[in-house]
Amino acid sequence: MTKFDISVAIPALNEEYYLPQLLESLCAQRNVRLDIVVAEGDSDDRTVQAVKEVAARNNNPDVEIRVFTVEQRNVSYQRNYAVEQSRFGLLLFLDSDVRIPHPHWLHKVAGKHLRRKSAITTCRFRPFEKSVAAELYYSGLFAFHQIMRWFNPYAIGAMLLTSRECFERVGGFDVALTVNEDANFVKRVSAKGRFDVLTTACQVSARRFIRGGFIKTGIMYVRMFLHRTRHGEMRTDMGYWDNQHYDAPSQ
């Protein structure tokens, strides 16, 4: 079975709880060689130590984990920096609160991406919290992504798979954008080739909705989408990054 070489770029800030879970799910992957680069924004918690602890106990010889502290707390800058430090031509962008569901997931997703000669690929998301509202939201998001792929490609940055060539052709993520930088990146890369939305799902936390309220947070996302549709890319975050430090859930 062919092994795929994948560089994984992960921006992080104060993610000592969620990030280790993602890293451990990556260490469990099979039939892939992973170059994992965490670009963290000088976190106030134990993010760096948590990454190093996972790296120290990793026993998968095909997985390497490196962590860098960057000077800017800017998700686009952090993603771009991670790519600069990475080695492989296939680039996977993940958010810190994602989990890979099973050991063959990445091999399956990378295989589909390469066979279909896609410029950029995203997937379906399912929340790992037990919440009916979160399940409904992510089901709706999947349907929205599928519809938009034919008109105006749109996806969130929780999971994006592309090539270094495509990344460099569009100049990476736009550091001037503080929100919807992921949708902007997807739109620009999609102009270079196929945009794919896989039915294969990975898990993501619904913490933003749980903390901010599903109705309030949902309305904010709709406002952002309408603003981008009518006026172009946003130069204000509409309060999105207010109080974005997430404590660990109650055990």
Query: Can you give the pLDDT at residue 234?
Result: 59
- 3 state SS of 184: helix
Identify any residues that bridge with 6 across adjacent strands, giving them in sequence order.
34, 90
The answer to the question of residue 246 being in a domain is no
Scored b (16 or more CB within 10 A) or e, 99-118 reads bbeeebbbbebbbbbeeeeb
Count up the domains in the chain and report the number.
1
The answer to the question of residue 17 being in a domain is yes
Element (H, E) at 36: strand 32-40
Tally of residues, the chain:
251
Query: Can you give the pLDDT at residue 144?
Result: 83
Identify any residues that bridge with 203 across adjacent strands, giving them in sequence order.
99, 126
The answer to the question of residue 66 being in a domain is yes
| Sign of the torsion formed by the C-alpha atoms of 189, 97, 244 and 69 | negative
The answer to the question of residue 61 being in a domain is yes
Q: Return the CATH number at 166.
A: 3.90.550.10
Element (H, E) at 12: strand 4-12
First-last CA distance in the chain: 40
- 3 state SS of 79: helix
The answer to the question of residue 69 being in a domain is yes
Cβ neighbours for 233, distance < 8 A, ≥ 6 positions apart: 174, 177, 180, 184
Closest CA to 31 of 103, 131, 139, 115: 103
Burial of 2 per CB tally in 10 Å (0-12, 13-18, 19+): exposed
The answer to the question of residue 189 being in a domain is yes
Query: Can you give the pLDDT at residue 14?
Result: 96
Which tokens sit at 77?
Answer: 């800058």
Radius of gyration of the chain (CA): 17
Q: Identify the domain containing residue 151 by its residue range.
A: 4-205
Low-confidence residues of the chain: pLDDT under 70: 212-251
Q: Which residue has the tokens 């062919």?
A: 2
Per-residue pLDDT tens for 2-29? 899 999 999 999 999 999 999 999 999 9
Query: Can you give the pLDDT at residue 134?
Result: 86
Read off the pTM.
0.88
The answer to the question of residue 249 being in a domain is no
Query: Can you give the pLDDT at residue 240?
Result: 47
The answer to the question of residue 72 being in a domain is yes
Query: Can you give the pLDDT at residue 150?
Result: 80
| The dihedral formed by the CA atoms of 125, 89, 35 and 161, expressed in degrees to the nearest 10 | 0
Per-residue pLDDT tens for 166-186? 999 999 999 998 788 999 999
- 3 state SS of 214: helix
Decide: 155 and 94 in contact? Cβ < 8 Å.
Answer: no
